[in-house]
Chains A and B, each alone.
Chain A
């Protein structure tokens, strides 16, 4: 199937959306790249959000080495014109990297601006939240001071004088600052949520991430298009299919892509299987967080069946590894599809029986109803995505608005977008439970189609043209996921820039807003309800093979270390 684009959209953008633009370049599949002057960024942001009700998808920057930085603002206009995405590009110089801030207009860009400040050194003017995103807050700017952060003073004179975050000072006794994290049994990955409590009520909260930053964007830029898909997959273990599909969508957006139909069905199948396993995992995690280990084991037991199907199709449970630009590398045989179909049907029946019982449990409801409220207005301003937004009655779903390169055409596969009016944790639970049943339907339709037809699954990609840009959008289990790739002028194999913005990025920024006023027991519940994936938020891990002295501990040493310290 070839992905069509509408040639009249460039004129629409030129005349009505951004007449101040300096040049307009149509990209494949209804994307338009507009080059603007750097000072116009906030004016255009104001107009896009208030007049057109567009959403800011991401704000990032590309390092152009000698010529400065290219600021990139990606806006989603899919509610205005079908599948329209407008990319604003503005060049700023390296001597004075301070474009106007978009975060002061809309909260959606807050974390994006913190990130470009941390990673590239660009400080937007007037940004409301200039703190660091990945480094610790106390880290001094090395370019200014040229030194390492100061060590704590030696020799405390008493417990009150030492900087112990866990000791309570007498005058703080009424409003205790509790750090939930970086290590905490209630959260799965490393993050810190600082919570100020009075008694059991949360007065204010703040979230600090950055413990999992691995530099995956840089890794992909150095590996190239064909090898980078495996690094992109490993951004997150739970939503790895979403990242894989978004990567190939972004790279296929660079040239005029043609993907066989059968490959599109397989892609949809894998994405929905991933969604089912992720939502079942989430139900288990929320059950564990409210103290119900039985719910955890019951839902994860069902998840095992999904993992068995995934393993039979792709060869691995977590990192599927069969995504290729231009198709897939493996086919689903008829025998496998026919074997999987009754399993999925039985699984759907079990889920339809178990999950409403879990959601109707009186103690579960007492822990989830009314917890972590997020009104529609807050969700819209804050840029919530995914089930968090849909539970606040905002009907956005990338599979319907801006479909990725997979089969989601409502004329071919019947499915629907689930919303709920609850605006709280219980609403998010119901949205995910219903999405599980919808996803099972999609899986059964895909399997039925794959069992009956044959076809090729891969078309080798064409040469990637220089200076093209690609955007891949996808609905990960947690929300909207975007990959932005810019092809290099000189090198056909390596991209010049690769940027990822994950859904947890947006949802985590809203956690402090949701926490104020709840009780301490609800803090992990709220954190869990946004379905955090900190690995997605931080995106980093580099293994350095050479350099530096290192000592490998033998097994005996590790065991001894576990028993007694200092041996």
Chain B
């Protein structure tokens, strides 16, 4: 009996203050919501200005949720949130810090093709001048060049920049094929030294 009385005391204490909190679905000011912490790993949000389409997020995605679709005009980087494991690998590895995990988490939809579940980022795609195949997004090419020119040694910077401008607009295969013709192949410096 005494254990019953102790539990009764516990139970009467809890009468007027329920542990359950209300879920917000309107503007009733009596509703509360348990705190959403700062570091919640919610939906992926990609900054369209910063993304360069380098496919790093696609390579490290653990749930195979990030997919790349290439057409002649554009590259679409798509995150499908139903397959996302919210592991934050893409947030860690993005070189431009374009990916952030937001605090949104409400994903219930009645139709799998609902656009709420997809995050699409479109980037303009460059096509090769010679063979007409799409090979790189425009922003990626510019950004790679920027990063390269920041870090390159001043002694060879002139040659590298000049070679870059000569091969601008060719896909890697066509660039390789025209290496001797445009004098951008890598062995030219070795020959120079030998000679």
Taking Cβ atoms with an 8 Å cutoff, the residues of A that contact B are 223, 226-227, 230-231, 234, 294, 297-298, 301, 304, 308, 311-316, 319, 321-322, 329-330, 354, 357-358, 360-362, 543, 552, 554-555
Closest to B1 in A: A362
B19 at the interface (CB under 8 A from A): yes
Chain A residue at minimal CB-CB distance from B111: A554
> Is A321's CB under 8 angstroms from B86's CB?
yes
* Minimum CB–CB distance for B109 against chain A, Å: 9
Determine how close the nearest CB of chain B comes to the CB of A329; give it in whole angstroms: 7
Interface CB pairs A-B, < 8 A, 30: A223-B62, A226-B62, A227-B61, A227-B62, A230-B87, A298-B11, A301-B14, A312-B37, A313-B39, A315-B39, A315-B88, A316-B40, A316-B86, A319-B85, A319-B86, A321-B87, A329-B88, A329-B92, A330-B39, A354-B10, A357-B6, A357-B10, A358-B7, A361-B4, A362-B1, A362-B3, A362-B4, A543-B83, A555-B110, A555-B111
Partner of B10, one of A231, A298, A330, A360: A298
Task: List the A side residues contacting B86 at CB < 8 Å.
Answer: 315-316, 319, 321
Q: Do B10 and A312 have beta carbons less than 8 Å apart? A: no
Q: With A and B bound together, what is the CA distance between A470 and B34 in angstroms?
A: 42
A262 to B121, alpha carbons, bound, how many Å? 38
What separation, in Å, do the CA atoms of A329 and B91 have in the docked complex? 11
B16 within 8 A of A: no
Q: Which residue of A lies closest to B113 (CB)?
A: A552
- Tell me the minimal C-beta distance from A83 to chain B in angstroms: 31
Give a binary string over B84-100; 1 marks a CB under 8 Å from any A CB, 0 the rest. Answer: 01111100100000000
Q: Are B40 and A360 in touch, CB under 8 angstroms?
A: no
Interface of B is mostly: loop
Q: Check if B35 is an interface residue, CB within 8 A of chain A.
A: yes
B6 near A230 with CB under 8 A, answer no
Is B110's CB under 8 angstroms from A315's CB? no
In B35-93, the 8 Å CB interface with A consists of: 35, 37-41, 60-63, 83, 85-89, 92
A-facing mask of B16-38, CB < 8 A → 1, else 0?
A: 00010000000000000011011
Contacts of B4 in A (CB 8 A): 361-362
Return chain A residues, CB-CB under 8 Å to B165. none
Binary CB contact string for chain B from 167 to 190 against chain A (1 if under 8 A, 0 otherwise): 000000000000000000000000
Chain A residues within an 8 Å CB radius of B63: 230
Query: B41 contacts A361, CB within 8 Å?
Result: no
List residues of chain B with CB within 8 A of the CB of A313. 39
Contact B39 A361 (CB under 8 A): no
Q: A-B pairs with the 3 shortest C-beta distances?
A: A315-B41, A555-B110, A227-B62
Chain A residue nearest to B6 in the complex (CB): A357
Q: Which B residue sits closest to A302, measured CB to CB?
A: B19
Q: Which residues of A contact B11 (CB under 8 A)?
A: 294, 298
Residues on B with beta carbons closer than 8 Å to the beta carbon of A554: 110-111
Quick check: A311 and B10 within 8 Å, CB to CB?
A: no
Question: In the bound complex, what is the Cα–Cα distance between A361 and B11 (angstroms)?
Answer: 14
Instruction: Give Cα A365–Cα B3 distance, bound, in whole angstroms.
Output: 11
CA distance A227 to B88 in the complex (A): 11
Nearest A residue to B112 by beta-carbon distance? A552
Q: How far is the CA of A249 from the CA of B135 in the complex (A)?
A: 41
- CB neighbours (8 Å) of A227 from chain B are 60-62, 89
Contact between chains at A321 and B110 (CB < 8 Å): no
Asked whether B112 lies within 8 Å of A304 as measured between CB atoms, the reply is no
Asked whether B3 lies within 8 Å of A357 as measured between CB atoms, the reply is yes
Closest CB of chain A to B21's CB: distance in Å? 9
Note all chain B residues with C-beta closer than 8 A to A357: 3, 6-7, 10
In angstroms, how far is the closest chain A Cβ from the Cβ of B61? Answer: 8
**B19, B34, B37: which contacts A315 (Cβ < 8 A)?**
B37
Contact for A321 among B34, B35, B88, CB less than 8 A: B88
A374 to chain B, nearest CB (A): 27
B40, closest chain A residue (CB): A315
Instruction: Chain B residues near A312: list those with CB within 8 A.
Output: 37-39
Q: For residue A358, which residue of chain B has the nearest CB?
A: B7
Q: How far is the CA of A178 from the CA of B49 in the complex (A)?
A: 64
CB contacts (< 8 Å) of B87 on chain A: these are 230, 321
Q: Determine the distance from Cα of A329 to Cα of B63 in the docked complex, in whole angstroms.
A: 18
Contact between B35 and A308, CB atoms less than 8 A apart = yes
On chain B, the residues within 8 Å of A231 by CB distance are 62
Q: Which residues of B contact A321 (CB under 8 A)?
A: 41, 85-88
Q: Which residues of the other chain, B, contact A552 by a CB distance below 8 angstroms?
A: 111-112
Cβ-neighbour of A226 out of B35, B60, B110 (below 8 A) = B60
By the criterion CB–CB under 8 Å, are B3 and A230 in contact? Answer: no
Q: Which residue of A lies closest to B11 (CB)?
A: A294
CA distance A546 to B75 in the complex (A): 23
CB-CB < 8 A to B83: which residues of A? 543
